[in-house]
Amino acid sequence: MAEKATAQKTTTDRPRLMLLDGHSLAYRAFYALPVENFNTATGQPTNAIYGFTSMLSNTLRDEQPTHLAVAFDVSRKTWRFDEYPEYKATRSATPDEFRSQVELIGELLDAMRVSRFAVEGYEADDVIATLATQAEALGYDVLIVTGDRDSFQLVSDHVTVLYPTKGVSELTRYTPEKVVEKYGLTPAQYPDFAALRGDPSDNLPGIPGVGEKTAAKWITQFGSFQELCERVAEVKGKVGDNLRAHLDAVKLNRRLTEMVRDVPLPSTPPDLERIPYDRQTLSGVLDVLEFRNPNFRERLFAADPGAEQEAAVAEGVAVHGTVLGAGELSGWLADHAQGPLGLASVDTWELGSGSVTQLALASAEDAAWFDPAQLEETDEKAFATWLADPARPKVLHNAKNTARVFAEHGWYLAGISMDTALAAYLIKPGRRSFALDVLSVEYLGRELAPADTGDGQLAFGEEEDGDAAAAEALMVQARAVLDLGEVFGERLPEVGAENLLHDVELPISALLARMERAGIAADRDHLAGLEQQFAAAVQHAVTEAHASVGHEFNLGSPKQLQEVLFGELGLPKTKKTKTGFTTDADALAWLAAQTEHELPVIMLRHREQAKLRVTVEGLVKTVAPDGRIHTTFSQIVAATGRLSSTDPNLQNVPVRTDEGRAIRRGFVVGKDFETLLTADYSQIELRVMAHLSDDDGLIAAFTSGEDLHDTVGSQVFSVPRDQVDPEMRRKIKAMSYGLAYGLSAFGLSQQLGIEAAEARALIETYFERFGGVRDYLHRVVEEARITGYTETVLGRRRYLPDLNSDNRQRREMAERMALNAPIQGSAADIVKIAMLRVDEALTREGLDSRMLLQVHDEIVVEVAPGELTAVEELVRREMAGAYPLRAPLDVSVGHGTDWESAAH
């Protein structure tokens, strides 16, 4: 059994060169990690990259090389192919999912500033052999990390091979002693042995009847392959006859198995000394790859040879601060609150209640910490006055969450000049983390930790050490927030987002804080009954599934389901994945259409009912003691600017199904209010598309007052409006929305269940009628290819670097995003403006009604008694006037005692 390699720290001053076979290791990682679990939002597979990088991080940590290089194959056409055209001919074609990842591994290595080699006409093995030979002669210790056993010929007292024996997570250390133990041969004899054995993976033929044991016995007996050839007549029996019959082929094997040790290279081992990462570029590559795991990143950055230097740069900042006692806050504010202050707090928020336990404020020169529970009346009043003063600038991180909790103390937060989380989102909406510590390192070059100045700057009085450390840490956070605010204040105008922050995102943040505190009333009994109903439906589907195949099996086990569907029932095979034939929803739907067996339909119903049960179960659990559900809205999740919600995620509540409508009936009007009112825009994405494209025909279709899809269908199919049948209307509706979301002809054909040629012809006919739309969709992609981003009507940018990628899959996904982002993003911007206008109008007109939710572009308002007529007129007016589109905004409004009854 292979032994796991353990780090062998060098005990000499010899430099330590580590060489990696890039293709070999990446290929192993590709098959070790399921590709379906590693994909970016653009559809780029990343399993090989993740596995390769993880292995590299671990090996760098364990082996601590001073020098490093990675070698890659260029193609299969090397000098070996010239000698033997059948070399590696039996290997299957490289999967597209793998090929696209090699380029990205190269980008990652470049950001790590690791030398990489790929030499035309040679394999990575030859490059490694050349560098290893040179390094050993120069007095280096060499480590070779590869999955190719031919590298064992390089092993010596100063050259060790680390061979993967379990994916890329476990390496076996091959020293000369290990090679002898494994094969009974020295490393120098290994090529002779390999030639006799043959190698099916390289299409090198073996000798019939001769396996590894016989090959090793011959080399041991004769000492070398050359000696064996000279004395080949001495080998008796049938194997001897076979050897003599195949001797020319074996001699060819021997030439091909020997690694080249004098490949001309642009660098020598001394040039391969490790240097610090380009950390900013590397972070950007990791963001693009969507590698979010903090442990993964930590291991990778910990292996940076410049880590100690980086730590020194980012060890923290010295903050002169004071722990304020009773009666001291008002004086501190009087001295420091003329300019902007950074604010940080420790607080809790759960199910509609919250409290603040610590607070810190920071100016450019000073900082202060205090316990809100210890404030005297004078301090409390001074703090509340400063918070509510719009003329006193405040800088916060995630101001919405702070405002929501502050309200529990009766504090109103105004004058927010900067929210560093929102600003970071507007500057780089595609990033994966907006955490304060991450932003501090990236933009300020320092960790969120106090600098160890040793000069006793902090006046803690009688505070315990733990309390003092907590106070100091919070003051450092407040200072980081302030400093980030200054940096972002300069960056926002550069990306055209200054007005977006101050006119849209900050006001929306304050509104969302009030909406979260208000929540929406829930009928707990109704929701609990639905949960039981869906649970019973799930169990019924299980019983039906078992009956349909005649025995029990685990419906939640993909492996068992595969065995039943494709083994027992012999249904048509679906797409093959690493774990077998896929059984996802699309595959089950395809099977349901291809076969008359009832199991695929039952499975779809089982999964749908299970999902509904989980959704309702989550709703029941989040009903707060006040009988209301308080979801949390986020402005920084969707790169297009749309709002999202969590705890619970209200986007998960279906809109158009009977089950979804039943769930929505569980959201009801609250005590002391009369009704719920819902409002949203009719066909807002298509109106935005008409506006952006300035297509006269599409704008006229909207302004005619007639049904849009009938009107467009009449033009596309060249029939009178009253002859547009339901099938025509379905196709036009799917195509119109599909174009707004970057749908391809193939995607349209799949959605409509028609041939791709028919879908392509449908789109072409549409574009003949609406040329402005065609020109706009082409123009927006080409402009984004030049500028690197798209923009909404309010200037919100979506950066799409993959538009110029050499990888077709990534490029096409970015093109679809370029088509979609301005339309969906503009719709999101308009909805936010509408929310602000409605909220301001409710306040201006002195109404007690209030906004509760914004879900799927729908606004939900809780209407106070006697205010329905005024609120409905107000909502229609303010939403219709949110933005001057050329295709006028049309608002639909409904009301009722529950969310479903209020539908329109």
Residues 498 and 550 in one domain: no
Structure-derived torsion over alpha carbons of residues 637, 641, 646, 648, reported in degrees to the nearest 10: -150
Of 681, 683, 675, which is closest to residue 876 (Cα–Cα)? 681
pLDDT 10s digits, 770-783: 899 989 998 999 99
Residues 509 and 549 in one domain: no
Q: Residue 570 burial (CB < 10 Å; 0-12/13-18/19+)? A: exposed
pLDDT 10s digits, 413-452: 999 999 999 999 999 887 778 999 889 988 888 888 665 4
* Bridge pairing between strands 16-21 and 141-145: parallel
Amino acid at 731: K
Q: Please report the beta strands in 169-288, taking only residues with DSSP state E, as ranges in sequence order.
A: 170-174
CATH number at residue 744: 1.10.150.20
| Structural domain range at position 593 | 530-629
In the numeric block, which tokens belong to residue 336? 């420091």
Q: Which of 114-123, 223-232, 624-633 shows the lowest mean pLDDT across its residues?
A: 223-232
Confirm whether 853 is domain-assigned: no
* Bridge pairing between strands 520-522 and 850-855: unpaired
- Please compute the mean of the pLDDT values over residues 240-255 and round it to a whole number: 70
Confirm whether 653 is domain-assigned: no
Residues 558 and 510 in one domain: no
What phi and psi, each to the nearest 5 degrees, are found at residue 113?
60, 45
Residues 328 and 362 in one domain: yes
Residues 175 and 70 in one domain: yes
* Banded pLDDT at 3 (limits 50, 70, 90): very low
- Please check whether residue 303 is in contact with residue 310, taking contact to mean a CB–CB distance below 8 angstroms: no
Please report the pLDDT score of residue 797 as a whole number. Answer: 92
Percent share of the chain, pLDDT over 90: 49
Residues 457 and 544 in one domain: no
Residues 569 and 460 in one domain: no
- Please check whether residue 218 is in contact with residue 228, taking contact to mean a CB–CB distance below 8 angstroms: yes
The dihedral sign for the CA sequence 692, 693, 695, 701: negative
User: How many Å apart are CA 90 and CA 201, to the nearest integer?
Assistant: 7
One DSSP character per residue, 856-875 reads: TTEEEEEEPTT-HHHHHHHH
Confirm whether 747 is domain-assigned: yes
CATH number at residue 412: 3.30.420.10
Confirm whether 809 is domain-assigned: yes
Please report the pLDDT score of residue 204 as a whole number. Answer: 65
Q: Which of 302-306, 358-362, 507-511, 565-569 shows the lowest mean pLDDT across its residues?
A: 302-306
Residues 483 and 536 in one domain: no
CA-based angle 240:241:247, to the nearest 5? 85
* Bridge pairing between strands 159-166 and 141-145: parallel
How many structural domains does the chain have?
4
Please report the pLDDT score of residue 23 as a whole number. Answer: 87
Amino acid at 123: E
Confirm whether 815 is domain-assigned: yes
Helix segments in 519-637, DSSP class H: 524-549, 558-562, 585-594, 599-621
User: What SS3 state is found at 379?
Assistant: helix
Please report the pLDDT score of residue 90 as a whole number. Answer: 58
Q: Which of 770, 792, 824 is the last residue of a domain?
A: 824
Confirm whether 888 is domain-assigned: no
Whole-number Cα distances in Å, 343 to 347, 402, 425, 687: 13, 10, 19, 42
CATH number at residue 557: 1.20.1060.10
CA-based angle 151:155:160, to the nearest 5? 95
pLDDT 10s digits, 619-640: 999 999 999 999 999 999 888 8
Which of 257-271, 698-712, 801-815, 889-903: highest mean pLDDT? 889-903
Q: Which of 629, 649, 667 is the last residue of a domain?
A: 629
Please report the pLDDT score of residue 85 as a whole number. Answer: 67
User: How many Å apart are CA 234 and CA 221, to the nearest integer?
Assistant: 11
Helix segments in 290-376, DSSP class H: 294-302, 307-313, 329-336
Identify the residue whose tokens are 């933009």: 443
In the numeric block, which tokens belong to residue 439? 């932003």
Residues 94 and 146 in one domain: yes
Helix segments in 441-564, DSSP class H: 465-494, 498-499, 506-518, 524-549, 558-562
- Please compute the mean of the pLDDT values over residues 805-823 and round it to a whole number: 84
Percent share of the chain, pLDDT over 70: 89
Q: Which of 211-225, 372-386, 755-769 shows the lowest mean pLDDT across its residues?
A: 211-225
User: How many Å apart are CA 428 and CA 379, to the nearest integer?
Assistant: 39
Q: Average pLDDT of the chain?
A: 86
User: How many Å apart are CA 261 and CA 133, to the nearest integer?
Assistant: 7
Could you tell me how many residues make up the chain?
904
Q: State yes or no: pLDDT of 92 exceeds 80.
A: no
Confirm whether 116 is domain-assigned: yes
CATH number at residue 113: 3.40.50.1010
Residues 611 and 729 in one domain: no
Residues 507 and 539 in one domain: no
Q: State yes or no: pLDDT of 59 exceeds 80.
A: yes
Please report the pLDDT score of residue 11 as a whole number. Answer: 45
Please report the pLDDT score of residue 166 as a whole number. Answer: 66
* Banded pLDDT at 279 (limits 50, 70, 90): confident
What phi and psi, each to the nearest 5 degrees, are found at residue 868?
-60, -50
Residues 434 and 542 in one domain: no
Please report the pLDDT score of residue 168 as a whole number. Answer: 60
- Please compute the mean of the pLDDT values over residues 890-900 and round it to a whole number: 96
Identify the residue whose tokens are 């507007």: 426
Confirm whether 389 is domain-assigned: yes
pLDDT 10s digits, 660-715: 999 999 999 999 999 999 999 999 999 999 999 999 989 998 888 778 888 888 88
Global pTM exceeds 0.85: no
Q: State yes or no: pLDDT of 196 exceeds 50.
A: yes
Q: Which of 229, 246, 272 is the last residue of a domain?
A: 272
> Which residues on neighbouring strands pair with residue 341, listed in sequence order?
394
